[in-house]
Amino acid sequence: MNIHDVHEGIVKYKKRKRLGRGTGSGLGKTSGRGHKGQRSRAGHSQHPTFQGGAMPMIRRVAKRGFNNKYGIKVGEVNVSDLEKSFDAGAEVTPEALKEKNLANYRYKALKILGTGEITKALTVSAHKFSASAKEKIEKAGGKVVVLEMAKPVVKNKMKVGTKPPK
């Protein structure tokens, strides 16, 4: 074997397929699309999960559990996390929790849960508290502040045939 034989047959830039340029090219007439059928037509598109008319895998696989897409997403923080992250006498608000990466995600309501122990007196502001969390915070000399939840926006729907209010 000679050194110049190493790269023989390797082309740096592959030539593109020239469709519909005669039978000699190997891609003339039907341009590599075959005869008839959906895929031979211009503008063909098919759903990515289409499996030739068979029931798609996505629909065959069993769904498990329950997911309420209309429910309120609740952010949860344990009392033990507050103990670790805040100093005595600190104000614990949803913004302060985001800064400390304790509830750094989207939620509609923040709930403080009673898992763990707390010894520091903190002023905790949240939308909801579990009974045990409330008890533990107050027992440690802290204060519980319940925030008001944002009310859903109700669109003004008028009945058909009624006049708008003056």
The total of structural domains in the chain comes to 1
Q: How far is CA 7 from CA 4, 11, 13, 14, in A?
A: 6, 8, 14, 15
Q: What is the CATH number of the domain that holds 97?
A: 3.100.10.10
Domain that holds residue 128: 74-146
Where do we find the tokens 């559990």?
Answer: 65
Per-residue model confidence (pLDDT) at position 44: 92
Distance CA 70, CA 138 (A): 34
Q: Is residue 14 part of a domain?
A: no
Is the separation of the CB atoms in 77 and 95 below 8 Å?
Answer: no
Report yes or no on 7 lying in a domain: no
Q: Is residue 12 part of a domain?
A: no
Provide the pLDDT for residue 71.
84
Note the pLDDT of residue 132.
96
In a domain, 134, yes or no: yes
Residue 88 lies in a domain: yes
Instruction: Report if residue 83 sits inside a domain.
Output: yes
Is 96 within the bounds of a domain?
yes
pLDDT in tens, the chain (166 residues): 898 888 888 888 888 999 999 999 999 999 999 999 989 999 999 888 888 889 998 888 888 888 777 888 999 999 999 999 999 999 999 999 999 999 999 999 999 999 999 999 999 999 999 999 999 999 999 999 999 987 776 666 666 666 666 6
- The CA-based angle 122-150-72, given to 5 degrees, is 90
Q: Is residue 13 part of a domain?
A: no
